[in-house]
Structure 1
Amino acid sequence: MGDFRGHSLVGSAFLLYGLMWSIRYPMVYLRGAAHGRHWHRMDLVEGIFKFIFASIGAVMENFAPSIGPRFHLINPEDHSWVGLSGWLHTTMYIFFSLSGLVDILTYSPLKIPQGLDRLTLALAFSLEGLLMYNHVRSQQPLEGLLHAFVLVVACIGFFCLVAEIFMRGHIILELFRSILAILQGSWLWQIALAVHPLRGAPWDQKDRSNLEFVPICFSWHLAMAIIIVITNYSLVHCYVMKYKKSSATNKIEFQKLGSAPEELEIRLLEESDEEYPGRTNRQL
Structure 2
Amino acid sequence: MGSFLGHLVPGTFFIVFGAWFTYRVFLRYFTCQRAVGTLGETCRSRYRNTSSFRCPCWPTLPLEGLLKIVAAVVGMTGEFVTAFDDGRFTHIGNAQHMTMFFFFGLNGAVDVLTHYRAPLLPDLDFVSAILAFSMEALLFFYHLHGRSHMDVQVHMLLFYVVVACAVSTTLEMCHKNHVLPAVCRAYFTLLQVRLPDPVACSLILFYAS
> Aligning the two structures, in what range does the TM-score lie when normalised by the shorter sequence?
0.7 to 0.9
Q: Residues of 2 paired with 1:170 and 1:158: CA distance? A: 16
Out of 162, 165, 173, the position equivalent to 1:165 is 173
Kindly indicate whether residue 54 of structure 2 is the aligned counterpart of residue 54 of structure 1: no
Aligned to 2:139: 131
Out of 191, 199, 207, the position equivalent to 1:195 is 199
Aligned to 1:22: 22
Secondary structure, counterpart of 2:112 in structure 1: helix
Given the two structures, how large is their TM-score scaled by the length of structure 1? 0.58
Aligned to 1:88: 96
Aligned to 1:9: 9
Aligned length: 185
Aligned to 2:38: none
Q: Residues of 2 paired with 1:149 and 1:22: CA distance? A: 22
Secondary structure, counterpart of 1:97 in structure 2: helix
1:140-219 superposed matches below 5 A: 140-185=148-193, 188-189=194-195, 191-192=196-197, 194-196=198-200, 199=203
Aligned to 1:278: none
Kindly indicate whether residue 130 of structure 2 is the aligned counterpart of residue 117 of structure 1: no
More relative contact order, 1 or 2 (CA 8 Å, 6+ apart) = 2
Are the counterparts in 2 of residues 47 and 101 from structure 1 also a CA contact under 8 Å? yes
Task: Quickly say closer, same or farther: Cα 1:82–1:121, change in 2 above 3 A.
Answer: same
Q: Residues of 2 paired with 1:69 and 1:99: CA distance? A: 28
Q: Residues of 2 paired with 1:47 and 1:200: CA distance? A: 33
- The C-alpha deviation readout for 1:17-46, integer Å capped at 9, x for no partner, is 111111111111111249x99x94239221
Segments of 5+ residues of structure 1 without an aligned counterpart are: 76-80, 203-284
Q: Residues of 1 paired with 2:13 and 2:67: CA distance? A: 10
Amino acid at match of 2:179: I
Q: Residues of 1 paired with 2:119 and 2:30: CA distance? A: 28
Secondary structure, counterpart of 1:41 in structure 2: coil
Kindly indicate whether residue 42 of structure 2 is the aligned counterpart of residue 45 of structure 1: no
Task: Quickly say closer, same or farther: Cα 1:26–1:200, change in 2 above 3 A.
Answer: closer
Task: Quickly say closer, same or farther: Cα 1:87–1:6, change in 2 above 3 A.
Answer: closer
Cα RMSD after superposing both structures? 2.9
Amino acid at match of 1:41: R
Aligned-residue sequence identity (percent) comes to 25
- Normalized per residue, which structure has more helix? 1
Out of 108, 112, 116, the position equivalent to 1:108 is 116
Task: Quickly say closer, same or farther: Cα 1:165–1:201, change in 2 above 3 A.
Answer: closer
Amino acid at match of 2:120: I
- The C-alpha deviation readout for 1:170-222, integer Å capped at 9, x for no partner, is 2100100111011101xx23x25x333594799xxxxxxxxxxxxxxxxxxxx
Q: Residues of 1 paired with 2:110 and 2:121: CA distance? A: 10
Given the two structures, how large is their TM-score scaled by the length of structure 2? 0.77
Segments of 5+ residues of structure 2 without an aligned counterpart are: 33-45, 56-60
Are the counterparts in 2 of residues 50 and 97 from structure 1 also a CA contact under 8 Å? yes
